[in-house]
Chain A
Amino acid sequence: MTDAATIQPPRSQWADVWSQFRSHKGAMLGLFVLSLLVAFVFIGPLIWRVDPTYVNPDAAKMIMSRNKPPTLDHPLGTDQLGRDMLARMMSGGRVSLAVGTVAMVLSMVIGSFVGLMAGFYRRLDGPLMRLTDMFLALPLLPLLLVLMMLFRDALASSLGPEAGTFLLIVMAIGVTSWMHAARIVRGQVLAIKEREFVLAARSIGVPSRRIILRHIMPNVISSVMVAATLGIAGAIITESVLSFLGLGFPPDFPTWGRLLYDGVEYMQLYPSRVVFPGLAISLTVLSVNYIGDGLRDALDPRIRGR
Chain B
Amino acid sequence: MLTYTIRRLLLAIPTLLLISLVIFLLVDLAPGSPMSEIPLTVPPEVRLKMIQAMGADQPVFVRYLLWLKQFFIVEPSYIIDGWFGTNLGGDQQRILSWQSRAPVFDVIGQRLPQTLTVVGTAYLVGILIALPIGIYSAYRQYSWFDQLGTFFAMVGYSVPTFFTGVLFIVIFSVNLHWFPSIYDTTLKVTDWASFWKQVHQMALPVMVLALFNAAEISRYTRSSMLENLGQDYARTARAKGMSERTVVLKHVLRNSMIPVVTIIALGMPAVFGGAIITEQVFKVNGIGAALIGAIHANDLPMVQTLTFIFAVLIVLFNLIADILYGILDPRIRYD
CA distance A306 to B137 in the complex (A): 12
In this complex, which of B159, B174, B318 has the most chain A Cβ atoms within 10 angstroms of its Cβ?
B159
Taking the complex as formed, is B243 at the interface, i.e. its CB lies under 8 A from any CB of chain A?
no
Contact of B310 among A142, A150, A244 (CB under 8 A): A142
Per-position 1/0 for A276-294, Cβ under 8 A of B: 0011011001100110010
Contact of A138 among B22, B159, B291, B298 (CB under 8 A): B22
CA distance A244 to B31 in the complex (A): 24
7 closest residue pairs by CB, A with B:
A150-B30, A139-B310, A278-B163, A154-B31, A286-B158, A282-B159, A285-B158
Interface residues of B in 298-325 (CB under 8 A from A): 298, 303, 306-307, 310-311, 313-315, 318
Taking the complex as formed, is B35 at the interface, i.e. its CB lies under 8 A from any CB of chain A?
no
In the complex, how many residues of chain A place their beta carbon closer than 8 angstroms to a beta carbon of chain B? 44
User: Given A146-B295, A147-B26: A139 and B307 within 8 A (CB)?
Assistant: yes
Which A residues are in CB contact (< 8 Å) with B280? Answer: 244-245
Taking the complex as formed, is A237 at the interface, i.e. its CB lies under 8 A from any CB of chain B?
yes
Which B residues are in CB contact (< 8 Å) with A143? Answer: 23, 26, 307
CA distance A247 to B280 in the complex (A): 13
Interface residues of A in 224-273 (CB under 8 A from B): 233, 237, 240-241, 244-247, 260, 264, 267-268, 271
A267 touches B277 (CB 8 A): no
CA distance A89 to B169 in the complex (A): 22
B163 touches A247 (CB 8 A): no
Taking the complex as formed, is B95 at the interface, i.e. its CB lies under 8 A from any CB of chain A?
no
- Tell me how many residue pairs across A and B have CB atoms closer than 8 Å: 129
Interface residues of A in 103-152 (CB under 8 A from B): 133-134, 137-143, 145-147, 149-152
B26 touches A134 (CB 8 A): no
Interface residues of B in 235-288 (CB under 8 A from A): 269, 273, 276-277, 280-281
Taking the complex as formed, is B157 at the interface, i.e. its CB lies under 8 A from any CB of chain A?
yes
A151 touches B31 (CB 8 A): yes
A100 to chain B, nearest CB (A): 13
CA distance A247 to B276 in the complex (A): 13
B174 touches A150 (CB 8 A): no
B291 touches A281 (CB 8 A): no
Taking the complex as formed, is A275 at the interface, i.e. its CB lies under 8 A from any CB of chain B?
yes
Q: What are 26 sample pairs from A and B whose C-beta atoms fall under 8 A apart?
A: A138-B19, A139-B269, A142-B303, A145-B292, A146-B23, A146-B27, A146-B303, A146-B307, A150-B27, A150-B31, A150-B32, A150-B33, A152-B32, A245-B277, A246-B296, A260-B162, A267-B169, A267-B174, A274-B163, A274-B167, A275-B167, A278-B162, A285-B159, A286-B155, A286-B158, A289-B158
Taking the complex as formed, is B121 at the interface, i.e. its CB lies under 8 A from any CB of chain A?
no
B100 to chain A, nearest CB (A): 18
Taking the complex as formed, is B132 at the interface, i.e. its CB lies under 8 A from any CB of chain A?
no
Interface residues of B in 16-55 (CB under 8 A from A): 18-19, 22-23, 26-27, 30-33
B162 touches A241 (CB 8 A): yes
CA distance A285 to B164 in the complex (A): 14
B295 to chain A, nearest CB (A): 5
Taking the complex as formed, is B223 at the interface, i.e. its CB lies under 8 A from any CB of chain A?
yes
What residue of chain A has the Cβ atom nearest to residue B16's Cβ?
A137
Contact of A142 among B157, B167, B281, B306 (CB under 8 A): B306
A241 touches B166 (CB 8 A): no
CA distance A233 to B280 in the complex (A): 22
CA distance A290 to B226 in the complex (A): 21
CA distance A275 to B166 in the complex (A): 8
A278 touches B26 (CB 8 A): no
B299 to chain A, nearest CB (A): 10
CA distance A247 to B314 in the complex (A): 24
B295 touches A286 (CB 8 A): no
Which A residues are in CB contact (< 8 Å) with B73? Answer: none
What residue of chain A has the Cβ atom nearest to residue B12's Cβ?
A137
B32 touches A153 (CB 8 A): yes
CB within 8 Å of B: which residues of A? 26, 133-134, 137-143, 145-147, 149-154, 233, 237, 240-241, 244-247, 260, 264, 267-268, 271, 274-275, 278-279, 281-282, 285-286, 289-290, 293, 306
CA distance A274 to B163 in the complex (A): 8
User: Given A150-B31, A153-B32, A286-B158: A142 and B314 within 8 A (CB)?
Assistant: no
Which B residues are in CB contact (< 8 Å) with A247? Answer: 295
A137 touches B318 (CB 8 A): yes
A134 touches B19 (CB 8 A): yes
Taking the complex as formed, is B160 at the interface, i.e. its CB lies under 8 A from any CB of chain A?
yes
CA distance A149 to B303 in the complex (A): 11
A254 to chain B, nearest CB (A): 16
Which B residues are in CB contact (< 8 Å) with A246? Answer: 296
A173 to chain B, nearest CB (A): 14
Per-position 1/0 for B144-167, Cβ under 8 A of A: 000000000011011110110011
Taking the complex as formed, is B170 at the interface, i.e. its CB lies under 8 A from any CB of chain A?
yes
User: Given A137-B311, A142-B276, A274-B166: A281 and B160 within 8 A (CB)?
Assistant: yes
User: Given A138-B22, A150-B27: A271 and B160 within 8 A (CB)?
Assistant: no
Contact of B18 among A134, A264, A279 (CB under 8 A): A134
Which B residues are in CB contact (< 8 Å) with A271? Answer: 170, 174
B311 touches A139 (CB 8 A): yes
Contact of B298 among A149, A260, A279, A289 (CB under 8 A): A149
Taking the complex as formed, is B15 at the interface, i.e. its CB lies under 8 A from any CB of chain A?
yes
CA distance A141 to B280 in the complex (A): 14
What residue of chain B has the Cβ atom nearest to residue A283's Cβ?
B158
Which B residues are in CB contact (< 8 Å) with A149? Answer: 32, 295-296, 298, 303
CA distance A240 to B15 in the complex (A): 30
What residue of chain A has the Cβ atom nearest to residue B169's Cβ?
A267
Which A residues are in CB contact (< 8 Å) with B31? Answer: 150-151, 153-154
12 other contacts beyond A142-B306, A145-B291, with CB at 8 A cut-off?
Answer: A133-B15, A139-B307, A142-B276, A145-B292, A146-B303, A151-B32, A154-B31, A245-B292, A267-B169, A286-B154, A289-B158, A306-B226
